[in-house]
Amino acid sequence: MKKVILTTESACDMGTDQIAMTGARIIPYHIELDGKSFLDGIDINADDIFQTYFKKNILPQTGAVNVQEFTELFTPFVDAGCEVVHVSLGSGLSSSYQNAVIAAKALPGVYPVDSRNLSTGIGTLCVYAKKLIDQGMSGAQVQAALEELRMRVHGSFVLDTLRFLAAGGRCSALAAFGANLLQLRPCIEVDTETSTLKVGKKYRGTMPCVIPKYFTDFVGRYSDVETDFIFLTHSGSSEKEVNLARDAILRAHPYKEVYVTRAGCTISTHCGPGCIGCFVVSK
């Protein structure tokens, strides 16, 4: 049986503990900001993006991992006689999955997985992938299992501000102004059928008031869930807000572990600071 290596992208938003636990090799996205090129999580972080936006009113362009970079990532493992399972940002949100597929066609034993998700929805699949690899599954078997599991990973997040979506052209400035004026905090949900995002319930009030309502609504929506762990991911929320979120999650279901992680540049560029959400795995 060949050794199976797990790889993924910086948009997985796993923390250092989860990266170490899964053994995943991370390949970074490209960040073009203020005339300079960076690598997500390597030489730039989300706070750098927020500071540049508030100082200069500019947002970065995020770039997918290209075919050559994937080839360079996979080739040493294949040459060493290993198989590779690669978990990618959803194909409806980025071209990285398609690029990974192209690279894999020239390399035997590389199995790309379209997460149909983002952020720690990807991380959730990576945690399960590690368990499957440890059970002795082959690369092809892990790929097939993850492609079934991904349809049961349900993610959403609530936004503190629409300024960054407006600046990136994903909503109108007028809509962002109105939402901020009325203290509206929209919930954005992941649609794994289409690998796209959709607007869910709109909450009203300050984030400390909204967070318990949102997490109670979203996590409580699923009555039969896997309770080994859950990812709670934010883009710079306060400790108070994170604790409010964790408490609401644990009131809904008795999770053994709540992994709190900070979103990287790829996700934070679009959601802005103060965004918070989670990913539930239904049975």
Rounded Cα distance between 228 and 143, Å, is: 21
DSSP lists the bridge partners of residue 186 as 202
Does residue 42 lie in a domain region?
Answer: no
Return the pLDDT at 188: 87
Residue 178 pLDDT > 90: no
Tell me: do 144 and 168 sit in the same domain.
no
Instruction: Write down which residue in 151, 185, 214 finishes a domain.
Output: 151
Tell me: do 105 and 240 sit in the same domain.
no
Per-residue pLDDT tens for 211-233?
Answer: 999 999 999 999 999 999 999 99
Return the pLDDT at 161: 81
Does residue 108 lie in a domain region?
Answer: yes
Q: Which domain holds residue 133?
A: 4-31+63-151
Tell me: do 9 and 147 sit in the same domain.
yes
Does residue 102 lie in a domain region?
Answer: yes
In the structure, what pLDDT confidence band is assigned to residue 180 with cuts at 50, 70 and 90?
low
Tell me: do 115 and 179 sit in the same domain.
no
Tell me: do 96 and 177 sit in the same domain.
no
Does residue 21 lie in a domain region?
Answer: yes
Instruction: Write down which residue in 151, 174, 194 finishes a domain.
Output: 151
Residue 252 pLDDT > 70: yes
Tell me: do 145 and 159 sit in the same domain.
no
Residue 177 pLDDT > 60: no
Residue 245 pLDDT > 90: yes
Instruction: Write down which residue in 151, 186, 217 finishes a domain.
Output: 151
- Predicted TM-score (pTM) of the model is 0.93
Q: How many domains does the chain have?
A: 2
**CATH code (residue 158):** 3.30.1180.10
DSSP per-residue letters across the chain: ---EEEEEEGGG---HHHHHHHT-EEEPPEEEETTEEEEBTTTB-HHHHHHHHHHH---PEEEPPPHHHHHHHHHHHHHTT-EEEEEES-TTT-SHHHHHHHHHHTSTTEEEEE-S--THHHHHHHHHHHHHHHTT--HHHHHHHHHHHGGGEEEEEE-S-SHHHHHTTSS-HHHHHHHHHTTEEEEEEEETTTTEEEEEEEEES-HHHHHHHHHHHHHHT-SSB--SEEEEEESS--HHHHHHHHHHHHHHS--SEEEEEE--HHHHHHH-TT-EEEEEEB-
Return the pLDDT at 198: 86
Return the pLDDT at 184: 77
In the structure, what pLDDT confidence band is assigned to residue 165 with cuts at 50, 70 and 90?
low
Does residue 192 lie in a domain region?
Answer: yes
Does residue 71 lie in a domain region?
Answer: yes
**CATH code (residue 136):** 3.40.50.10170
Tell me: do 135 and 192 sit in the same domain.
no
Residue with tokens 């009113």: 57
Tell me: do 211 and 268 sit in the same domain.
yes
Does residue 231 lie in a domain region?
Answer: yes
Residue 173 pLDDT > 50: no
Tell me: do 174 and 260 sit in the same domain.
yes
